[in-house]
Amino acid sequence: MQQSQRLRPPTEKQGRAHANGVLAQRQLEVGHVERATATWHDFLDDYETLSSARADDHFHQMMAGIRPHTGNARVRELDESARTLVAMKA
């Protein structure tokens, strides 16, 4: 999936956001919290300009998935970035 993302044109934000959402979720499921956090940040970069129910689902999965890991500084940074982004999109 990472190689696919590298080859995806930057203009394909919706496809890239979906793929990053899936990838980050899988990374989190196998315990790679910091790697998932980095991928979620990439997701947020695209999510900022999207209006998509599927991207919204990924966002909600992200927020639920990171909740148990708030002891991690990178997770707290992600949470703060996500909350700031939601406030800007509102």
Chain segment 39-84, per-residue pLDDT in tens: 999 999 999 999 999 999 999 999 999 999 999 999 999 999 999 9
* Displacement of CA 47 from its chain's centroid (Å): 8
In degrees to the nearest 10, what's the CA dihedral of 24, 61, 77, 83?
140
| CB 66, CB 37: distance < 8 Å | yes
Dist. CA 53–CA 75, nearest whole Å: 24
Residues with Cβ within 8 Å of 77's Cβ and at least 6 positions away in sequence, in order, are 37
pTM across the whole model: 0.89
**pLDDT class of 90 with cuts at 50, 70, 90:** confident
Chain segment 20-30, per-residue pLDDT in tens: 999 999 999 99
CB atoms within 10 A of CB 41: 16
